[in-house]
Amino acid sequence: MANTNAPRPDALEVAPEIDRERCTGCTQCLLICPVGAIERRGMRCFVSSEVCVRCGRCPTVCPNEAIETRG
């Protein structure tokens, strides 16, 4: 069985950032994060860059395109 927690080959160089204006707090990113690096505070989600493994999964599930990746 494949390790689903392993970073993707095209892993990000830096942790993604969530645009607070676009984020609706739907938690899709929180649910897909393999290491629990995303938390919801109030009606918005936030990425912990210290915990994030930069797998790149969260931007793929955001219905509002609120998760920005750089690098």
Q: Could you report the per-residue pLDDT of 1-28, keeping only the tens digit for each?
A: 545 555 555 567 888 999 999 999 999 9
Fold of 17-68: Alpha-Beta Plaits (3.30.70)
E-strand spans in the chain? 17-18, 38-41, 44-47, 67-68
pLDDT, tens digit (0-9, with 9 covering 90-100), for 42-62:
999 999 999 999 999 999 999
Dihedrals φ, ψ of 59, to 5°? Answer: -65, -25
Answer for the pair 68, 19: CB distance below 8 angstroms, yes or no.
yes
Residue 59's pLDDT is 95
What pLDDT is attached to residue 10?
59
pLDDT confidence of residue 14: 86
Domain positions in the chain are 17-68
CA angle 61, 6, 13 (to 5 degrees): 70
